[in-house]
Amino acid sequence: MVSERGLQVLQAIVQDYVETREPVGSKTIVDRHAFGVSAATIRNDMALLEDEELIVAPHTSSGRVPTDKGYRVFVDHLAQLRPLSPAQRTAITTFLDGSTDLDDVLARTVRALTNLTGQVAIVQYPSFARARVSHVEIVDLGGRVLVILVTDTGRVSQRVVGVAEPLDEAEVGRLRTRVSSLVSGRSVREGAAAVTAMLAGEPLSMSREDAATGIVLRVVSEELEEFRQDRLLMAGTATLARRESDFRGSIYPLLEAIEEQVTLLRLMSEMVADGEGLAASIGRENEPFGLSEASVVTGDYDVTGARARVGVLGPTRMDYPTNLAAVRAVAHYLSRLLEDDDAPR
């Protein structure tokens, strides 16, 4: 059983090790922290922490470093989230203000978060399977048409596709009406099913207008399917190479997970959040996902009733209080921005 002072010693070890990257000894703790006891007493506390597998000696020196279990106790019971500075809050606002649509908002979000934390930033797209298609626009470009789909959650798709022959204004209008009647007001899932049924039904005639309709419907089907797929957006991957010494082993499993995305999506979906929507998965807790060398910190954000996660990935030796505070602030700002009546559409 670890005493209250023992937990405070663990907190000091975590904080000092994150800051210095060096194993922490009893003398260092006495010198840097006002415990009011001798180094011998601190050594006894450290011995108890080691018995509980919360710290470990990386080599024969007297210093100790936190274990994954130690980081977990720190995050769950000892970490105090540090409020962001006015400059950091201004940086978030500066990055996110002026966004034009959801894709732009999320791209700016990961750039802001990696700048704040120095870690790989990750944002999960909200699930749009139940989002409704609110608007369809088709614009003639002379031998090509621009197909625009907008959902009530702010997702916008724009695709330019070639048609066999240019369409006149009346034909473009009828094409717009035809596509809109299939998908507008319906959920992404329902709209995709309606388009699929239309394409699988009776073949369209060989008229110029019907040929263009078939082409456009296939594009709409592809874009709606894209809306339904879970995916991630990331920034700061290069920081892994710069922080390679912070990982006990190879960083290649992390790079593969970033490349594949499926592993990270599974991990993020299974993380259990606290009352503030924050979650952390640390080191060997990620072993089922092949990511035992890393920690992931996430926060929930909302957009028109859909919930998704934003967070950071990095070594277990990370500044959890600062990263949790940054993730929380970005998630809150992102939710407010996307739920605002003036949010980008």
pLDDT the model gives residue 345: 38
pLDDT the model gives residue 202: 58
pLDDT the model gives residue 205: 60
Report strand pairing: 144-151 vs 156-162. antiparallel
pLDDT the model gives residue 60: 65
2 neighbors 49 (Cβ within 8 angstroms): yes
> Does pLDDT of 173 surpass 90?
yes
Please give the domain boundaries of the chain with CATH numbers for all domains: 4-78 (1.10.10.10), 86-126+230-339 (3.30.450.40), 133-228 (3.30.390.10)
> Does pLDDT of 204 surpass 80?
no
pLDDT digits (tens, 9 = 90+) for 233-244: 999 998 888 887
Greatest mean pLDDT range, 116-125, 199-208, 234-243: 116-125
Q: Which residue bears the tokens 């944002």?
A: 123
> Does pLDDT of 343 surpass 50?
no
Q: What mean pLDDT do residues 41-64 have? A: 90
pLDDT the model gives residue 194: 92
The full 3-state SS of the chain, as one line of letters, equals CCCHHHHHHHHHHHHHHHHHCCCECHHHHHHHCCCCCCHHHHHHHHHHHHHCCCEECCCCCCCEEECHHHHHHHHHHHCCCCCCCHHHHHHHHHHHCCCCCHHHHHHHHHHHHHHHHCCEEEEECCCCCCCEEEEEEEEECCCEEEEEEEECCCCEEEEEEECCCCCCHHHHHHHHHHHHHHHCCCEHHHHHHHHHHHHHCCCCCCCHHHHHHHHHHHHHHHHHHHHHCCCEEEECCHHHHHCHHHCCCCCHHHHHHHHHCHHHHHHHHHCCCCCCCEEEEEHHHHHHHCCCCEEEEEEEEEECCEEEEEEEEEECCCCHHHHHHHHHHHHHHHHHHHHCCCCCC
Q: What mean pLDDT do residues 51-57 have? A: 95
Could you tell me the pTM of the whole model? 0.76
> Does pLDDT of 209 surpass 90?
no
